[in-house]
Structure 1
Amino acid sequence: MTIRLSDIWPIAAPEGYKLHFARWNGENQPLEVWARDKREWQGWQEYRPARDDFNRPLIFSLIQFYHEPDTWLFGGVFRVLQRHRDRYEVERAEEGENFLGRLKLRSSYRERATRVKFENHYSSLEVQELLREPYSGRAFPGFEDIDLSFEELETLVRNSRPDWKSALSSIKGVYLISDVSTGKRYIGSAYGDQGIWPRWCAYVASGHGGNVELRALVSDPTLEYCRKAFRFALLESRPAPTPDEVILAREAFWKRILLTRSIDGLNRN
């Protein structure tokens, strides 16, 4: 049985809203923006292009749930307070507060415009799921399927996502950082008393984790380069009691196999 948004949330005058289909803008995924910084997410509603797209009193915001096709997360209702030539002033309304970050809707909308008339879509939006808690990052997929953008890792770390933190704190291992803008790669490892989780937290904090070659790439304290370019993958995971010599040997193996000590790599040793 299909449940539609209108079944659980009657809105008498959808003509008073613009619907914001927030999608990847070429730099950031709005889902990660929403999960890591609500003020930054509000900025997505305050951005004004050349046209006055938010020309109604209210904005109904949906966030592309990019892990699942045709899925959108409710990101709030915003009230437009002022329309300036270069930006909007908005505030989040209390409307739909219980659904914020929890309500997942289905829509196959793929048109280019991201700010459209709400009444043209309101009756067709399908309820897909209501999360128990507001979205704070995707569920831990298992050690063999870890491939994260910096932006997604940042979301998990800033929200201290419990399943990821518990799993990655319990292991030693070898990981790969790829710079997708240059194709260069860095191999690192976590050993001693340090699991993968605290090691990766250090990257989120600084962008480079203290690595010399990565430090040369990260000059912007806003971490925008990292969000655009870096990806993290776990190559090997080993139980915490594994001797450090084993981890270091496996790290050297991967450096040799992936040629990360060469001119196209980011390892100095």
Structure 2
Amino acid sequence: MPLTLGPLLIDAGIDPVQALVIRHAFVTEPEESGLTGLHADSTHAEIFSYTGTQSADTRRFPALPPRYWVVFIKEGGDQARLWSVVENHGEVSRDDIRRTFDIAETEHMEDLRGRLVIGWKSPRTWRMNATTAASYPVVGIADAEPIPFPGFDRLILSHVQLQAVMREHRYASWRTALSSVFGIYLITDTRDGRHYVGKADGEESIRQRWHAYATNGHGGNVELKTLDPSSFRFSLLRVFDPSTPRADINAAESHFKVALDSVQRGLNRN
């Protein structure tokens, strides 16, 4: 039995009953529509804005659209490639021509963005309920393109990005690099700017230490357990060769705690 879109939606935690499937095409919208079109060079931000702006005509777009919108880009006459999945938080403005929605990108099907291609049975239809699109066949899932490691001194990751680095094939070289070093790392809570200075030494590499944060958000640190990791930003302050004496790593950790005031005004308890 051929693979269809339905099982992929369910596996990603998306109930087809609560989802809309959209296929954007590269088009120039009529000026009177008040909508901007898309073209082959449209940026991610432009596609996002285009997705959140819909016609006020409820014959073109549902009066009460569902929570999740699974967004594809037209490819050829009868195929579509996954762009992203957004969550609809409701309509925020409306006039006689267009409606604007508060949407946000989600992690759903993140590993399939740009890779999943489905057959599109109704070329004249650009949106439909996911319960209908669930039967559409999967044409292919491309291998993920490897992403080059940027270097230890340029590494800045959100918690969502850290989770991707720890699990996705395209980040294999990143995991290899992080496995090769010990070091001092920084977690910043972007909501209030407070810092947590941590270290990886002895039996744990940076990769092993950060894997714990990717898994549970707090890595076992008491002060971090009460916080939402979605606002955390991870970076490296200094890396060490595994042969470095532990005393040198401890000294560096103490230095950065003082320099960043992470005990008195931050998230370190000592």
TM, length-normalised to structure 2: 0.55
1:215 corresponds in structure 2 to 225
| Alpha-carbon distance in 2 for matches of 1:198, 1:63 | 30
Cα contact 1:147–1:233 (8 A) shared by 2: yes
The 1:204–1:48 alpha-carbon spacing in structure 2 relative to 1, beyond 3 Å, is closer
| Alpha-carbon distance in 1 for matches of 2:166, 2:160 | 10
Cα contact 2:196–2:267 (8 A) shared by 1: yes
| Alpha-carbon distance in 2 for matches of 1:59, 1:46 | 21
Match of 1:250 among 246, 249, 252: 252
What does the per-residue CA deviation read over 1:15-65, in whole Å, with 9 as the maximum and x for residues that have no partner?
xx82289957xxxxxxxxxxxxxxxxxxxx98259xxxxxxx97543359x
Identity, % of aligned positions:
32
Cα contact 1:213–1:266 (8 A) shared by 2: yes
| Alpha-carbon distance in 2 for matches of 1:236, 1:248 | 12
Cα RMSD (Å) of the superposition? 3.6
What does the per-residue CA deviation read over 1:51-91, in whole Å, with 9 as the maximum and x for residues that have no partner?
xxxxxx97543359xxxxxxx9354236589955x987535
Task: Flag the structure with larger Rg.
Answer: 2
The 1:90–1:167 alpha-carbon spacing in structure 2 relative to 1, beyond 3 Å, is same
1:31 corresponds in structure 2 to none
| Alpha-carbon distance in 2 for matches of 1:61, 1:22 | 15
2:34 corresponds in structure 1 to none
| Alpha-carbon distance in 2 for matches of 1:200, 1:213 | 16
Cα contact 1:47–1:87 (8 A) shared by 2: no
Tell me which stretches of 4 or more aligned residues in structure 1 moved more than 3 Å: 20-24, 57-60, 72-75, 78-84, 86-89
* SS across alignment from 1:73: coil
Q: CA deviation at 1:216?
A: 1.1
| Alpha-carbon distance in 1 for matches of 2:244, 2:218 | 26
1:236 corresponds in structure 2 to 238
Match of 1:47 among 68, 77, 83: 68
The 1:205–1:58 alpha-carbon spacing in structure 2 relative to 1, beyond 3 Å, is same
| Alpha-carbon distance in 1 for matches of 2:215, 2:190 | 20
Q: CA deviation at 1:230?
A: 1.0
Q: How many residues align?
A: 176
1:259 corresponds in structure 2 to 261
Cα contact 2:115–2:144 (8 A) shared by 1: no
The 1:252–1:78 alpha-carbon spacing in structure 2 relative to 1, beyond 3 Å, is farther
2:110 corresponds in structure 1 to none
Cα contact 1:80–1:88 (8 A) shared by 2: no
